[in-house]
A and B are shown apart, each in its own frame.
Chain A
Amino acid sequence: MEGPLVSAAEREDRRRAAVFGKVRRALAGEGEGEARREAVRERLSRHKANVIPARGQVDGESRVALFAEMAEKVSATVERIASPEDLPEAVAEYLRAKNLPSALRMGADARLRDLPWQKAPQIELKHGPSDGHDLATLSHAFAGVAETGTLYLVSGEDNPTSLNFLPEHHLVVIAASDIAGDYEAVWAELRARAEKEGLPRTVNLITGPSRSADIEQTLLLGAHGPRALHIFVVGKG
């Protein structure tokens, strides 16, 4: 029926019309058009939260403690540091403790780039997206969620997404004040940002290091992504 004389665009249009036609016919009994349209508009613009579990609804240091507890439960490691200036030495110490070469890749994020790296001069710093051979990378999280120990990382000029998935060890910095109780609070932040600069291409919610249970249900860490996720929580909650 669709011969070679039909252009690709025409084929696309036909397929689209066929699907929409069938869906509209299936829903013909769903009631009056304008009321349905209004229900959809409302749902898409009002952003009403559904049930939010009580677990994450704690403040300050309790929230940071819950975040750390939940992250550690899923095999991430969490380290508290007082100030960003302490980060270079903390990173150097992590690499040493894990017997890793003194090398680290990160993006152009000023919050990381402008740190006093001269305090750990042995670390060879690389910038830009991962080439697939980095053992350790460093990212800055957009936010965290205490409810499940989840990190939010967003793509952009500063934080290449490949840094989150290609290394053996993923090191992530998060400000204690950026840890929210629930996902809904972070979506609200991202929406506010999206109004100015659009939603980032990729938003990664990361809860622990990579794992697989595909071989006889045995849980193994480091399937394709990082074998280790180390989180530096900076400052007080």
Chain B
Amino acid sequence: MSLHITSPAFKENAVDALANVDLQQALAHVERGFIHKRQAAVDALPEFEALRREAKAIKDHTLAHLDLYLEAFEENALKAGAEVHFAETAEDARQAVLEICRRVGAKTVTKGKSMISEEIGLNTFLEASDIVPVETDLGEYIIQLRGETPSHIIAPAVHVTRSQVEADFRRVHTHLDPERDLTEPVSLLSEARAALREKFLAADVGITGANFLVVETGSSVIVTNEGNGDLTQILPRVHIVIASLEKLVPNLEDVSTLLRVLARSATGQEMSVYTTFSTGPRRPGDPDGPEETHIVILDNGRSEMLADEYREMLRCIRCGACMNHCPVYHAIGGHAYGATYVGPMGAVLAPALFGLEHTANLPNASTFCGRCESVCPVGIPLPKLMRHWREREYERHLKPATERSGLALWAFLARRPKLYRLATRIGLAALSPFGRKGRFAWLPLAGGWTRHRDLPAPAAKSFVAQWKARS
């Protein structure tokens, strides 16, 4: 039961994505929508920068004391009547979920949107165990019908056009009138609402993720706009929360600070519609709510990150601002990355979780323009961390031989200034026949660049040579 990682084919994926007309039409919404909305929300809150600094400090403090906060969270969650399960690996987490589902004889489970569920491949696993998982977030429902994975961490179906959704609904909802009008997005929404309402009421177990786990109270917190996460966790008899180690936050004041930067960074909302704090199962006398609450806490490589330079990545609160502002993501969308986590945060996280040998292309899929870091609500230095992965890739001989020998040659020359200057002189002379009007339309060994755009030609004389001539 391993995840299907297609990151090794990143370059082919990207070429396909650039030629995919539907995808390009859908991706235009990312750039038009998210960036403007975030900026408007930030402009409306003078304290935003101060809150960002605090958010970063809260996460740094929590990570530096994570062992103690884990103990305290476990104690408080148990006190509230929840059961806490620790999972070192994805397999442990899947087994923990399956054991609960089997014990209560679950046939169908409803699911709120959870990236951890995607990370551990929970749906495929449950299906193989004869349990039907039903995704209830509208975007997740759409991609489940299409047999796809999310292409964005908060807008999983952002790569799908309205007419594609219409075609999928007609294909799957065969009990409805084939002549019905589905041209308006709202009619699609109503159809999904009706289809899922029955599933909510019939499910045996509800599985959600968590945006935060509050140590002080032993609560799990979900932040949503649709209300599906809440229906998932209050209607079935059993609620399972799956969350990773770094979701811990010390107290309710700290959560409030993080909430103030989360929605603004994600969708440009001041606050998401539903922010729900769940503490244990239903209390005596409660007329609704689950009878059992389980919290599965997943490590899956994060404790290793805690020990090295990637600890900073564990501050991530999964707002998606980095991908919303990434020129590479805008051009190719999320699927080309070929891993659960995409965009700049995925380029740092995926190698840590799934192995650099499978994902080395991702930290290279960046222009290092720095927009991701500039909008990150918890100040993660994403370009720096991507650069660290590139260094490791080089150290571990994961780069192709041509690239390695090219770099080795450059390094050899760069350490010998006289030789370097001689080489640049020869190089400039050799290149001059290819340049036209200061640009190269074609250049040997640089076809990947010049096929799509011109490369600026260097000046006829190097800077050093020009400087010498002046003095």
* Contact assessment for A19 and B297 in the assembled complex, using a CB-CB cutoff below 8 Å: yes
* A161 contacts B by Cβ under 8 Å: yes
CB within 8 Å for A212 and B231 given contacts A25-B307, A203-B276: no
A15 to B85, CA, bound (A): 8
* Contact assessment for B225 and A202 in the assembled complex, using a CB-CB cutoff below 8 Å: no
- The A-contacting residues of B in range 208-260, CB under 8 angstroms, are 215-217, 219, 225-228, 230-231, 234-235, 245, 250-254, 256-257, 259-260
* A195 contacts B by Cβ under 8 Å: no
* A51 contacts B by Cβ under 8 Å: yes
What residues of chain A lie closer than 8 Å to B267, measured between beta carbons?
A: 213
* Contact assessment for B256 and A215 in the assembled complex, using a CB-CB cutoff below 8 Å: no
B381 to chain A, nearest CB (A): 20
* A99 contacts B by Cβ under 8 Å: no
- The A-contacting residues of B in range 275-333, CB under 8 angstroms, are 275-283, 285-289, 297, 299, 303-304, 306-307
* B447 contacts A by Cβ under 8 Å: no
* Contact assessment for B251 and A43 in the assembled complex, using a CB-CB cutoff below 8 Å: yes
B150 to chain A, nearest CB (A): 11
CB within 8 Å for A224 and B228 given contacts A37-B68, A199-B279, A205-B276: yes
CB nearest to B81 among chain A residues: A201
A45 to chain B, nearest CB (A): 9
CB within 8 Å for A44 and B51 given contacts A202-B277, A208-B273: no
A219 to B137, CA, bound (A): 14
What residues of chain A lie closer than 8 Å to B47, measured between beta carbons?
A: 51, 53-54
CB within 8 Å for A47 and B280 given contacts A23-B245, A128-B287, A201-B289: no
- The B-contacting residues of A in range 1-39, CB under 8 angstroms, are 8, 11-12, 15-16, 18-20, 22-27, 30, 36-37, 39
CB within 8 Å for A201 and B281 given contacts A50-B257, A55-B45: yes
* B270 contacts A by Cβ under 8 Å: yes
What residues of chain B lie closer than 8 Å to A157, measured between beta carbons?
A: 285-287
* Contact assessment for A18 and B287 in the assembled complex, using a CB-CB cutoff below 8 Å: no
A33 to chain B, nearest CB (A): 9
CB nearest to A205 among chain B residues: B275
CB nearest to B68 among chain A residues: A40
Q: Point out the residue from B65, B85, B278 that lies within 8 Å of A36, measured CB to CB.
A: B65
* Contact assessment for B230 and A161 in the assembled complex, using a CB-CB cutoff below 8 Å: yes
* Contact assessment for A53 and B228 in the assembled complex, using a CB-CB cutoff below 8 Å: no
* B136 contacts A by Cβ under 8 Å: yes
A20 to B186, CA, bound (A): 48
* B165 contacts A by Cβ under 8 Å: yes
* B404 contacts A by Cβ under 8 Å: no
Q: Point out the residue from B85, B88, B260 that lies within 8 Å of A18, measured CB to CB.
A: B88
A107 to B86, CA, bound (A): 37
* A77 contacts B by Cβ under 8 Å: no
Interface stretch among B123-131, B156-164, B460-468? B156-164
* B118 contacts A by Cβ under 8 Å: no
Interface stretch among A79-87, A88-96, A116-124, A162-170? A162-170
Q: Mark B49-72, 1 if CB is under 8 A from A, else 0.
A: 011001000100100111111111
* A74 contacts B by Cβ under 8 Å: yes
CB nearest to B298 among chain A residues: A19
CB nearest to B296 among chain A residues: A15
* Contact assessment for A206 and B285 in the assembled complex, using a CB-CB cutoff below 8 Å: no
What residues of chain A lie closer than 8 Å to B16, measured between beta carbons?
A: none
What residues of chain B lie closer than 8 Å to A187, measured between beta carbons?
A: 252-253, 256
What residues of chain A lie closer than 8 Å to B119, measured between beta carbons?
A: none
CB within 8 Å for A199 and B217 given contacts A54-B47, A220-B189: yes
Q: A50-B254, A132-B201, A216-B26 are in contact. List 19 more A-B contacts (CB 8 A).
A: A15-B92, A19-B299, A23-B70, A27-B306, A39-B65, A40-B69, A148-B271, A157-B286, A162-B234, A184-B252, A201-B279, A202-B289, A204-B275, A207-B271, A209-B273, A213-B225, A214-B142, A215-B160, A226-B227
